Structure 1
Amino acid sequence: MEPSKGFVDSKDGTRIAYTRYGTTCPAVVLVDGALAAQEFGPNKSLAEALSSRYTVYTYDRRGRGGSGDTLPREVEREFEDLDAVIALAVEPVMLYGISSGGGLVLDYLRSGRTARKVALYEVPLVVDDTRPPTPDDFVEQTNSILAQAKNGSAVKYFMRTGVDLPALMVAAFPLFPGWSHLKAVAPTLAYDLQYVGAFQHGRPLPADRWSGLTMPVTLIAGGKSPEWMRRGNSALAEVIPGATHRVLPGQTHLVKAAALAPVLVEFFG
């Protein structure tokens, strides 16, 4: 069956573009990470891989793809967007978040919302000295660059300082086919940095921040991903009650749907 595309209105009236794959319950909602969208990121292929077992929803987070945006950029608006997508399922759903999209899911649940089960892939947390920590003013510096409408510079600063990609790779970003997309959605970094920016300074995670989560949670990382990312996910599993943690051999932050889908099916049931 072909995916079904549509729009749903968030609480503040912002139109959110979504796609539904499959018609088999239960429902799973996939949440993209920084700069990604339905047509620019890994969740489309993952949704296709899961669609024979679940009804899967992907959506363009506000300010990306087919979705609108409304100022100011407050995280509660993104929570309301996710509320609107989840309401399409008319039942408790399972959530999957990748990268800073996992940070969105964690804060969404901290706000008092709930889900049946939650799977997170490589939430980007820097908890030790495995890599250089982001500077304490990283979020402020990124927002300052964005305020000057220097979208390309903001993407480069985020990729070099936040993601810790090699300088030569970041310098070559304007040559990549997706550069125009990255520049267009750069202002949405203001959302993502609110979810993870405070936890990238090389310090241990707060022990009680996610202690109220009661649903089953699993943390997944790639065996070929940077050590700092694997350590961050392991540390996150230690501060979420009952959370499990596993590493997918051979996978990186750009995880392959063929490797991830069976793990999610095993966890979601």
Structure 2
Amino acid sequence: MPSVTAPDGTRIAYERAGSGPPLILIDAAGHFRANSPLDELADLLTADFTVYRYDRRGRGDSTDTPPYAPAREVEDLAALVDHAGPRVSLYGYSSGCLVALHAAAAGLDVHRMALLEPPIDPAEDSTEQHAFIIKLRELTGEDAVSYFLTTIGVPPDMVDTMRGTPHWRAMVSVAHTLPYDGLLSAAVDADLLARVTAPTLVLDSTGSTDDLTGMAATAAAMLPNAVHRSLAGEWHGVPAATLAPVVASFLR
């Protein structure tokens, strides 16, 4: 398995497919290449891009080096960006969007970005947010996954349907990384978004709830060079066949 090495020694496993300008896909909380909603999208985008997919630290075939900080995830991505070459674009899904935003704000050479439903709520109470992270650190395994999903607003019937499935077991296997995404979110503010100058397409699904579509609209309004678009889809997701041509057109 090919990998790049972050400055702190963490090995970041990745895979590459397709041809064309480089594009890195960034998974959401609890996801990695072996348990990802990005499979079909990646396949469709290989017609236009050299698509890189990687396991964020602590997930899948990547290693981890404590203590965690959002800056470490930026360094992980920077190592892959350096390997992929110039004019790299980023696609982020859910909390994967936060990694992309942190990286762009930190000055990585990002050509363009497409973000599907970034979880950004500037009005969120910081005390509640930090309490959420502390609780996640106290929980393990299925308890951590259940708490995370229900607290961020995944519909209860969806959580019940997940239980016992291979997807659920995969999320449980990386439950220790869920606080990482909480810390990424807590570190996003108006000043960080103002530093993101890369042209950005912020997307949401017409099938999502108002909180998710509202956060997408808020993110687009706060970014200096962003456009916002809604696509037909389900809760917190858009079919790859609908998503791929829109993402490809913008990133090209």
SS in 2 for 1:136: helix
Q: Does 1:92 align with 2:81?
A: no
Which letter does structure 1 place at the counterpart of 2:128? Answer: D
Q: Does 1:19 align with 2:33?
A: no
Instruction: Quote how far apart the aligned CAs of 1:10 are.
Output: 1.6
Please tell me whether the aligned partners of residues 73 and 190 of structure 1 are also in contact (alpha carbons under 8 angstroms): no
Instruction: Quote how far apart the aligned CAs of 1:220 are.
Output: 0.5
SS in 2 for 1:137: helix
Cα deviation, 1:229-251, whole Å, max 9, x if unaligned, reads 11111111111113100000234
Q: Does 1:182 align with 2:177?
A: no
SS in 1 for 2:33: coil
Query: Structure 2 length as normaliser, TM-score?
Result: 0.91
Q: Show the 5 A alignment for 1:34-49.
A: 34-49=29-44
Q: Show the 5 A alignment for 1:232-247.
A: 232-247=215-230
Q: Does 1:143 align with 2:134?
A: yes
Query: Structure 1 length as normaliser, TM-score?
Result: 0.86
Cα distance change of structure 1 residues 175 and 84 upon mapping to structure 2, 3 Å threshold: same
Q: Please name the residue that 2:242 is paired with.
A: 259
Which letter does structure 1 place at the counterpart of 2:149? Answer: M
Q: Please name the residue that 1:194 is paired with.
A: 183
Instruction: Quote how far apart the aligned CAs of 1:119 are.
Output: 0.9
Please tell me whether the aligned partners of residues 41 and 240 of structure 2 are also in contact (alpha carbons under 8 angstroms): yes
Q: Show the 5 A alignment for 1:161-240.
A: 161-162=151-152, 164-171=153-160, 173-197=162-186, 206=190, 208-240=191-223
SS in 1 for 2:225: coil
Cα deviation, 1:25-48, whole Å, max 9, x if unaligned, reads 211011111111112112222111
More helix by share: 2
Please tell me whether the aligned partners of residues 18 and 57 of structure 1 are also in contact (alpha carbons under 8 angstroms): yes
Cα deviation, 1:122-179, whole Å, max 9, x if unaligned, reads 0123467xxxx7883344344344345x2221111111112x1234543554323322
Match of 1:248 among 227, 231, 240: 231
Instruction: Quote how far apart the aligned CAs of 1:109 are.
Output: 1.6
Cα deviation, 1:33-70, whole Å, max 9, x if unaligned, reads 11111121122221111101110100000111111111
Instruction: Quote how far apart the aligned CAs of 1:190 are.
Output: 1.9
Distance in structure 2 (CA, Å) of the matches to 1:211 and 1:91: 23
SS in 2 for 1:116: strand
Cα distance change of structure 1 residues 167 and 264 upon mapping to structure 2, 3 Å threshold: closer
Please tell me whether the aligned partners of residues 145 and 154 of structure 1 are also in contact (alpha carbons under 8 angstroms): yes
Q: Number of aligned pairs?
A: 252
SS in 2 for 1:96: strand
Please tell me whether the aligned partners of residues 9 and 15 of structure 1 are also in contact (alpha carbons under 8 angstroms): yes
Q: Show the 5 A alignment for 1:41-190.
A: 41-126=36-121, 136-147=127-138, 150-162=140-152, 164-171=153-160, 173-190=162-179
Instruction: Quote how far apart the aligned CAs of 1:9 are.
Output: 1.5
Distance in structure 2 (CA, Å) of the matches to 1:226 and 1:127: 18
Distance in structure 2 (CA, Å) of the matches to 1:197 and 1:99: 14
Q: Which runs of 5+ in 1 are unaligned?
A: 200-204
Q: Please name the residue that 2:5 is paired with.
A: 9
Q: Please name the residue that 1:202 is paired with.
A: none
| Identity of matched residues, % | 35
Please tell me whether the aligned partners of residues 139 and 197 of structure 1 are also in contact (alpha carbons under 8 angstroms): yes
Instruction: Quote how far apart the aligned CAs of 1:191 are.
Output: 1.5
Which letter does structure 1 place at the counterpart of 2:49? Answer: Y
